[in-house]
Structure 1
C-alpha cells in the first residue's frame, strides 16, 4: 500500500506511523486487515452514535437508495427531508422553526455566522461585523468557523480571518475549588466587552457545556445562564454549536435542554446519521428567516451545496433518531460507568482534571515525555483501544451500544498504560 497517495487529516505525514487499514466494524469494535480488534472509545471522531454497521440504518439507506438517491434542493424537495425536519421539530424548542441543510459541522457553523451577519445587513445595520466566542473554542475548519475558533489549530490562517472577540472560558473539573472565582473573572470581562462593543457584535457562538477539540473542557450550566442572560439583554444573537454535544452526548438530547436561555441558531451534524453519511443542519427562528424575504434575490440567503439534504443521508438520520429514542438506558449506564472509571484513575498521581458530562469523560495525563500524545495513542492501540488524545488530554466518548463492563475494562487498561510510561 502506497501511503503517499492519501493525505490524511490532522496528521504530520512526514513522521506519522503507517495507517491501520480497517476492513469492517461491528458495534463498538473495529477490525483491521491483520485481524486485530479495537474498541472505538471515541465513536470515530464522535459520529458513530450507535456503533459501527448498524443493520437498521444500513437497511434504511438501502431502501431509500432504491427510490431516490439525490435531487437538486433548490426548487425541489423530498419526503426524507420533510420527515427529518418534522421529527427534529418535535424535539427542540418551539422557537427554532426553520431548517437549513448542509453537509458537515464546519459548514453548519459557517451558515449560522453568515445568516447572523446578513440578518443585520438586511436591516440596514452594516456595523454589526464582530462575533464573540470563547478561548479554546473549536467551531470547524472553514474560514468563518476558524475566525471564531481559538483552539490553536488555525494560527497559520490568522491574517485571513475576520475579526472576532474571544473571552476566557472557565473550564472546571471534579473537585475544582476555584470555579466560582474563575467564573466571576470571565463575567466581569464579558461586561467590559459588551459595554464597548455590543452595538458591533452580531452574535455570540459557543459550544454549550463542553468545548470539544479544544480539550473536552467543561463549564457549569449556571455560568452559561448568566452569560446568555447578559447577551440577550444587549440584543445579540446566540449560536449554539452542538455539532459534538448534540444527540445525548451531554446527557440530554441537546445541551440546550439544560440551559434556560435558548439559542437563535442551533448547529447540528456529526452523530445525526449515526456515522453513516455526511449531513448537517442550521436551525433558526421565524424572525431571522423573515428578514431574508423580499421582492428581489438581493435579500435572499445565497448559500448551498451540491448534496444539500441528500435523501439517503436524511433517511439514515430518521432511522438514527428512532434508534436513539430507545437508547436512554444505555446513555445513563455510560455516564455511571464513566464515574466509576474515573474513580479507578484516581489511583494514579499522573492523572488530574477528572471530569464527566453525560457520555463524555476526560482527564489530563502529566508525564515528562518528548512526544506524550503519540506515545499514548500507540500504547492505547496496542491494548486494543481507539483513543485519540488532544495534547495531554485523554477523553472517552463511546458509542451507545458499549457496555458498562467494556467501559470499566477500558479504564483499567488506560490506567495500566499511563502508569507504564517512563518519564524522560
Structure 2
C-alpha cells in the first residue's frame, strides 16, 4: 500500500539534513511512496529496481509478509521495554539463534541498536578486558587502511585515516596503529611479503595493542577491497601469538552477502569479538549485536568494574528482536546460498564494463558487484541517469557498485548491470 501523502520536497531540501550531503547545495532526494519486493516506487511515478538493498540491509526485499507479520504480532503485545533488569522471549530467542549460527566459540551476546554502536561496544570490550587483567598498557587498536567501521567517534578512529572522516577530526579522535590495507586479492596468489609486514607490525606494537579490528574479506565503504582469506588466517595466528584480541566487523558482510554465512568462514577462523548489524532485521529496523567468547566476557567480569560499561536505551528492543528472529529463519528456509550463487552468476553481466576505457576494474564476490572507474563519480548526475533507467544505485568515490536484495530476479540484475554500462559509456557520471 502506497503512502499518498504529498512529500514537501522544498521543506525537505531546506531543513532536513540527509547523510553525507551539504545544506548549501544538497544532493537531490527522491520521494519514495512505497516499496515492494525489490522495487522502490517514487512519487513522480517511476518504479526503480533497488541495487542497494537499503544500504545492504534489506536482504529479503521489502514488505516480506513474514517480516511484516513478526512486527505486527510483536507490536500488539510489547513494542519496547528496558533491558536493564528485564528480559523477554524475542531477545532470548534471538541470542540463541545468533550463538547457533555464528562461529564457535562466540557464545556471549550484547544487543545494541546500530552497527556503529556495536563497534563502540566491541572496542569497549577489548579495552576493558585488558584493564580487567591489570594491563593498562594495551590501550590502542591496530587496524588496516581502507577500513570503515561507522560514523561514531570510536568507530571513526579505526576508519581509513585518509579516505574517511578520520582526517577531519584529528586531535579529537584517539590515535591508533594502522597497517597497510590487504593487497593480495580474493582468488589470487598469497602475498608473503605483506604477511611478513603484518607480523612486523605485531612484533613492534603488540605491547600497546588491545585488539586488531578489520572487516573480513571485503573492506566495504573504504574501497570495496576483496582480499585473500590467507590474510585473515595469518591475522588470527598473529593475534594468538602476540596476545591481541581479534575483532571482526561483519556488519556489511554477515548473513550471506559474500557467499558464506559470515565472511570469516572463507578463512575458517573465528574472532574473539564479532560485530553484526545491517541485514540482522532484514532491513526493517535498526538492531545490531556484538558477540564475544567466554574468555573475554568472564575476563571483563572478573576484574575492574566487573560490568561492561554500556547500556543503550533501546537495547534488546522486542520489535527489532522479533523481526530479526523472523529474518534469520527466512534466510535459512529460503536457501540463501542458492540465491547468492544465482546473483553472482547474473553479475557476470558487469564484466562487459571491462571493455570501457574509463574502467579500472570489475570485481564480484557473492552478492556484491563493483565497477571501479578512473575518477570520482558525480553522484547527483549519475543518479539522475539511473532513475531514468529505472534503477536505484548510489555510488561513492570511484566505485559504482551493487548489493541487491537476495530475492532480486536475474533479469533485474542484468538491468542493473546494463544501466551501469550505459552510464559509463555515455559519460553520465
Give the TM-score, by structure 2 length. 0.92
The one of 17, 40, 44 equivalent to 2:54 is 44
CA distance in 1 between counterparts of 2:75 and 2:259 reads 33
Q: 2:408 — aligned with what? A: 402
Structure 1 vs Structure 2 CA RMSD: 1.9
| 2:281 is the alignment partner of 1:273 | yes
Aligned partner of 1:228 in structure 2 is 236
Out of 13-22 and 260-269, give the one that drifted further: 13-22
Partner Cα distance (1:252, 1:18) in 2: 36
Matched residue, 1:64: 74
Once the two structures are superposed, residues 51-99 of structure 1 have per-residue CA deviations (whole angstroms, 9 ceiling, x without a partner) of 1121210111000111111111011100000101111221122310100
Distance across 1 between alignment mates of 2:164 and 2:302? 41
Decide whether aligned partners of structure 1 residues 175 and 131 sit closer, same or farther in structure 2, where only a CA change above 3 A counts. Answer: closer
- Once the two structures are superposed, what CA deviation does each residue of 1:363-402 show, in whole Å capped at 9, x if it has no partner? 21235x8x63443233222212211112111111000110
1:135–1:166 CA contact under 8 A, matched in 2? yes
**365, 385, 394: which one aligns with 1:388:** 394
Name the CA shift for 1:344/1:173 in 2 (closer, same or farther; >3 Å): farther
Question: Would the alpha carbon gap of residues 205 and 383 (structure 1) be closer, same or farther in structure 2, given more than 3 Å must change?
Answer: same
Q: What does residue 4 of structure 2 align with?
A: none
Q: Which residue of 1 aligns with 2:3?
A: none
Q: How much does 1:187 deviate? A: 2.2
Could you give the per-residue CA deviations for residues 285-326 of structure 1, whole angstroms, max 9, x where no partner exists?
11111123359x822112011110100100100111111111
In structure 2, distance between residues paired with 1:415 and 1:272: 32
C-alpha contact 1:104 1:269 (8 A) present in aligned 2: yes
Deviating more after overlay: 54-63 vs 323-332:
323-332
Partner residue, 2:292: 284
Which residue number in structure 1 is paired with residue 100 of structure 2? 90
**Distance 1:173-1:403 versus aligned 2 partners, 3 A rule:** farther
Q: Describe the SS at the equivalent of 2:301.
A: coil
| Superimposed CA distance per residue, residues 186-216 of structure 1 (whole angstroms, 9 cap, x where no aligned partner) | 3232222222211111000000000111121
3-state SS of the aligned residue for 1:281? strand
Q: How far, CA to CA, are the matches of 1:114 and 1:29 in structure 2?
A: 39
Between the aligned partners of 2:27 and 2:235, the Cα distance in structure 1 is 44
Separation of aligned partners in 1, 2:89 and 2:79: 12
3-state SS in 2 of match to 1:267: strand
Deviation at 1:217, TM superposition (A): 1.1
Number of corresponding residues:
415
Q: What does the per-residue CA deviation read over 1:334-390, in whole Å, with 9 as the maximum and x for residues that have no partner? A: 11111x2133222322222211111111121235x8x63443233222212211112
Name whichever of 185-194 and 101-110 sits farther off.
Answer: 185-194
CA shift in 2, pair 1:145/1:23, >3 Å = same
1:175–1:249 distance in 2 versus 1, CA, 3 Å: closer
Is the counterpart of residue 119 in structure 1 residue 129 in structure 2?
A: yes
Q: CA deviation at 1:157?
A: 1.0
> Would the aligned equivalents of 1:327 and 1:400 in 2 still touch at CA under 8 Å?
no
- 1:303 is aligned to 2:313: no
Q: Does 1:357 align with 2:365?
A: yes
Q: Deviations over 1:248-278 (max 9, x none)?
A: 0110110122223310001000010011111
What's the CA shift for 1:16?
2.4
Task: Judge conservation of contact 2:381–2:428 (CA < 8 Å) in 1.
Answer: no
User: Which residue is equivalent to 1:135?
Assistant: 145
Q: Distance in 1 between matches of 2:349 and 2:109?
A: 39
Hey, what does 1:378 align to over in structure 2?
384
Please state whether the residue corresponding to 2:91 is helix, strand or coil. helix
> Offset at 1:133?
0.5
What is the SS of the residue equivalent to 1:332?
helix
Structure 2 Cα separation of the partners of residues 44 and 198 of structure 1? 38
1:18 matched to which residue of 2? 28
**TM-score w.r.t. structure 1 length?**
0.93
Note if 1:5 corresponds to 2:15.
yes
Equivalent position of 1:153 in the other structure: 165
- Take 1:243 and 1:70, find their aligned partners in 2: how far apart are those partners? 24
Quote how far apart the aligned CAs of 1:160 are. 1.0
Cα distance in 2 for residues equivalent to 1:353 and 1:74: 49
For 1:31 and 1:294, how far apart are their aligned partners in 2?
A: 53
Q: Describe the SS at the equivalent of 2:360.
A: strand
Judge conservation of contact 2:41–2:47 (CA < 8 Å) in 1.
yes
Instruction: Quote the Cα distance in structure 1 between the aligned partners of 2:29 and 2:378.
Output: 19
The aligned residue for residue 313 of structure 1 is: 320
Cα pair distance change 1:19/1:85, threshold 3 Å: same
Q: CA deviation at 1:422?
A: 7.2
Q: Which runs of 5+ in 2 are unaligned?
A: 1-7
